C-alpha cells in the first residue's frame, strides 16, 4: 500500500525560541554550595553583549543560574523574585531552599505547553545547613544532586565534575579518603568554567561565582577570555 | 448628643453638610492605641504603643512592611488594616515587576485614598475603620503620609494618631523644626519621647513599644525588642531613672517571640 508523504517543506518555520548560549554550574559540599555562570550573550556567531547576568540571588541561602534564551531567563527570574517576596510577606520568613526548588519546578511546569527555554540550576544550603544543588529540564523535572552543569558548555563541564566531585573512573583515590572542601570546590568550579571558555565559543567574557553557606552568600566576579 | 436622624447610613448628609458615618469611622481610629511618625531629610521613623488585652495574650502588632522602601503603622481596626496592607503590597510588587523600580510612596497613598473613598459612596459598603501612617524613602526624599477612613490623605513632617495622640502631637509640634537635620538615633529618640507623652499610666517596655525606620541606605526595618530597649534606656537615663535589667527580661523576650502571631 502506498502512502502519500506530501511535499517536503522548503521554508523554515518561524521559531519563538533562540539560544543565547552560556554555561552554568553548581557544586554542593557538606555545609556549602558553589554556583557559577558566565555572562556572555550570543546570537548565532555574534556576541550580543559581554555582560548579561544569568544569576539571581533569591534568598541569603539560595540562588539560581539559568542558561538558554535570555528573554525567558529574564522573565523567569523576575517572576521568581516576585514570588519569593510574596512568600516572605505571607509567612514572615524567607523561603527555604527546598521551597525555592519546588517553586521553580512548578513555575516551569506551569508553562508546560509553551515552555521557558531555560536550563536552570538552583543551589544553596537546606534547612539542616547541608549544601544542595537542584537541576531541571525546561519543563520543571526536578532532581537533587551533588553537582550539575547546564548550557552550551555543559558537555565539557559535566565530565570534569563527574571525575573530580563524584570520583568516577578514578583509580588513584578512594571515596572514603576524599573530602570536598570549600577551597577545593571553588577552585574546581573556576577551573571548570574557565576550561569550558577555552573550547566553547559561547562561553566567555565574565563569570559570576557565588559561595553559599549558613553565614550567607558571598558573590564574586572574574574575567574569562574575550575571544 | 443625638445625631440619629442623619447618621444611619453613609449616604445621608446632615444639614451641616457632614457625613456622620465617616466621622464615626474616624472615631474608630481614635480608639486605637497611639501611633506616630516623624521624618528628617534622610530617615523616616514610626513609633507605636502596642496594647495587649491581658497578660496571657501577645501585643497587637501595629507596624507592617509594605516593601523594601516603605512601611506602615496603623491605628484602629487591625482587620481592616490587613486588607489595605495586602492592597499596598500588591501595588508595590506589581510596579516592581512591571517597571523594575520602587513604587513612589505618594502614588500608593493616592491609590489608597481612592480606594478608601470608594467605600464612602457605595451601597452596602462601610468606610475602613483604620488610619495609616505611611513612611517611605524614594526619589532621594523621605515621606510621611497619613490616610484616614474619609479617603483624605496628607503629607506630614510629623504626626500622631490614636488615643491620647494629642499629647504626642503637642510634643512633635514643639520640636519638629529641628527634625530635618537630625541623624537617625536622635530622630528615634524624639519619637520615643513623643510616645511617652501619650502613654499615660502605661510604662514603656521593649515588648509594648514598636519602632520602625526607613531611609537613605536603610531598608524598611522593624527594630528588634533589644534595640528598642536601648532607646528606652536612653530616655529613662535622661530622666534620672535607670532600670536594672534582670535575667527574666530575656526569657520574656523569647516567650514574646513565640507568642507573636503571624497577623499578616
Q: What is the DSSP secondary structure assignment for residue B130, as one 8-state letter? A: E
**CB distance B210 to B71 below 8 Å:** no
Per-residue pLDDT of chain B (264 residues; tens, 9 = 90+): 456 788 888 888 999 999 999 999 999 999 999 999 999 999 999 999 998 888 888 888 999 999 999 999 999 999 999 999 999 999 999 999 999 999 999 999 999 999 999 999 988 899 999 999 999 999 899 999 999 999 999 999 999 999 999 999 999 999 999 999 999 999 999 999 999 999 988 889 999 999 999 999 999 999 999 999 999 999 888 765 444 444 444 444 444 444 444 444
ipTM confidence: 0.82
For residue A2, the model assigns a pLDDT of 53
Closest CA to B151 of B125, B124, B173: B125
With cell 542558561, the residue in question is A67
**CB distance A209 to A41 below 8 Å:** no
Residue A208 has pLDDT above 50, yes or no: yes
Q: Which residues 6+ apart lie within 8 Å of B22 measured at CB?
A: B10, B120, B127, B149, B150
Window 60-89 of B, Cβ < 8 Å to A: 65, 89
- Which of A79, A89, A91 faces B89 most closely, judged by CB atoms? A89
Q: To probe the interface with A, which of B65, B69, B93 has the most A CB atoms within 10 Å?
A: B93
Distance CA B158, CA A174 (A): 69
CB of A93 less than 8 A from some CB of B: no
Window 84-123 of B, Cβ < 8 Å to A: 89, 93, 96-97
Instruction: Please answer yes or no on whether A85 and B65 come within 8 Å at the CB atom.
Output: no
| Distance in Å, alpha carbon of A67 to nearest chain B alpha carbon | 21
CB of A88 less than 8 A from some CB of B: no
Distance CA B70, CA B114 (A): 19
CB of B262 less than 8 A from some CB of A: yes
CB of A91 less than 8 A from some CB of B: yes
Q: Which residues in chain B are contacts of A82 at CB distance < 8 A?
A: 93, 96-97
pTM of the shown model: 0.86
Q: Which residues in chain A are contacts of B220 at CB distance < 8 A?
A: none
CB of A85 less than 8 A from some CB of B: yes
For residue B242, the model assigns a pLDDT of 43
For residue B3, the model assigns a pLDDT of 61
Distance CA B47, CA B209 (A): 7
CB of A78 less than 8 A from some CB of B: yes
For residue B109, the model assigns a pLDDT of 97
CB of A82 less than 8 A from some CB of B: yes
| Distance in Å, alpha carbon of B239 to nearest chain A alpha carbon | 37
**Percentage of residues in chain A having pLDDT higher than 70:** 96
| Distance in Å, alpha carbon of B89 to nearest chain A alpha carbon | 9
More confident residue, A135 or B6: A135
| Distance in Å, alpha carbon of A34 to nearest chain B alpha carbon | 27
Amino acid at each position: 500500500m502506498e502512502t502519500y508523504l506530501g511535499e517536503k517543506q522548503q521554508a523554515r518555520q518561524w521559531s519563538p525560541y533562540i539560544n543565547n548560549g552560556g554555561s552554568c554550574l553548581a557544586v554542593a559540599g557538606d555545609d556549602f554550595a558553589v554556583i557559577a555562570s558566565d555572562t556572555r550573550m550570543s546570537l548565532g556567531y555574534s556576541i550580543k553583549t559581554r555582560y548579561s547576568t544569568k544569576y539571581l540571588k533569591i534568598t541569603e541561602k539560595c540562588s539560581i543560574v539559568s542558561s538558554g534564551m535570555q528573554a525567558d531567563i529574564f522573565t523567569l527570574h523576575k517572576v521568581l523574585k516576585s514570588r519569593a517576596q510574596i512568600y516572605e510577606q505571607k509567612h514572615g520568613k524567607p523561603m527555604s531552599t527546598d521551597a525555592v526548588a519546588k517553586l521553580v519546578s512548578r513555575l516551569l511546569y506551569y508553562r508546560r505547553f509553551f515552555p521557558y527555554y531555560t536550563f536552570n540550576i538552583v543551589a544553596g544550603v537546606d534547612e539542616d545547613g547541608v549544601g544542595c544543588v537542584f537541576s531541571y529540564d525546561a519543563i520543571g523535572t526536578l532532581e537533587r544532586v551533588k553537582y550539575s552543569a547546564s548550557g552550551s558548555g555543559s558537555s565539557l563541564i559535566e565530565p570534569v565534575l563527574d571525575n573530580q566531585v563524584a570520583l568516577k573512573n578514578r583509580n588513584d583515590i578512594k571515596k572514603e579518603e576524599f573530602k570536598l572542601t570549600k577551597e577545593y570546590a571553588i577552585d574546581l568550579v573556576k577551573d571548570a568554567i574557565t576550561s569550558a571558555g577555552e573550547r566553547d565559543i559561547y562561553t566567555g567574557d565574565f563569570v559570576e561565582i557565588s559561595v553559599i553557606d549558613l553565614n550567607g552568600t558571598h558573590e564574586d566576579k572574574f574575567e574569562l577570555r574575550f575571544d | 448628643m443625638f445625631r440619629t436622624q442623619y447618621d444611619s447610613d453613609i449616604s445621608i448628609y446632615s444639614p451641616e453638610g457632614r457625613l456622620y458615618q465617616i466621622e464615626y469611622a474616624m472615631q474608630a481610629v481614635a480608639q486605637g492605641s497611639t501611633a506616630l511618625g516623624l521624618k528628617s531629610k534622610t530617615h523616616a521613623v514610626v513609633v507605636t504603643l502596642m496594647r495587649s488585652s491581658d497578660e496571657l495574650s501577645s501585643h497587637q502588632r501595629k507596624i507592617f512592611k509594605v516593601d523594601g522602601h516603605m512601611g506602615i503603622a496603623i491605628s484602629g481596626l487591625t482587620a481592616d488594616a490587613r486588607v489595605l496592607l495586602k492592597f499596598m503590597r500588591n501595588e508595590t510588587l506589581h510596579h516592581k515587576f512591571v517597571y523594575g523600580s520602587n513604587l513612589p510612596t505618594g502614588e500608593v497613598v493616592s491609590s489608597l485614598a481612592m480606594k478608601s473613598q470608594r467605600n464612602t459612596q457605595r451601597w452596602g459598603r462601610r468606610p475602613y475603620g483604620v488610619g495609616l501612617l505611611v513612611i517611605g524613602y524614594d526619589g532621594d526624599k523621605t515621606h510621611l503620609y497619613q490616610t484616614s477612613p474619609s479617603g483624605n490623605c496628607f503629607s506630614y513632617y510629623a504626626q500622631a494618631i490614636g488615643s491620647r495622640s494629642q499629647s504626642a502631637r503637642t510634643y512633635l509640634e514643639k520640636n519638629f523644626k529641628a527634625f530635618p537635620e537630625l541623624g537617625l538615633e536622635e530622630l528615634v529618640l524624639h519619637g520615643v519621647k513623643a510616645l511617652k507623652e501619650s502613654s499615660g499610666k502605661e510604662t514603656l517596655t521593649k515588648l509594648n513599644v514598636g519602632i520602625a525606620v526607613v531611609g537613605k541606605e536603610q531598608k524598611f526595618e522593624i527594630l528588634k525588642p533589644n534595640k528598642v530597649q536601648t532607646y528606652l534606656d536612653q530616655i529613662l537615663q535622661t530622666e534620672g531613672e535607670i532600670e536594672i535589667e534582670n535575667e527574666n527580661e530575656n526569657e520574656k523576650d523569647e516567650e514574646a517571640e513565640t507568642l507573636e502571631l503571624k497577623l499578616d
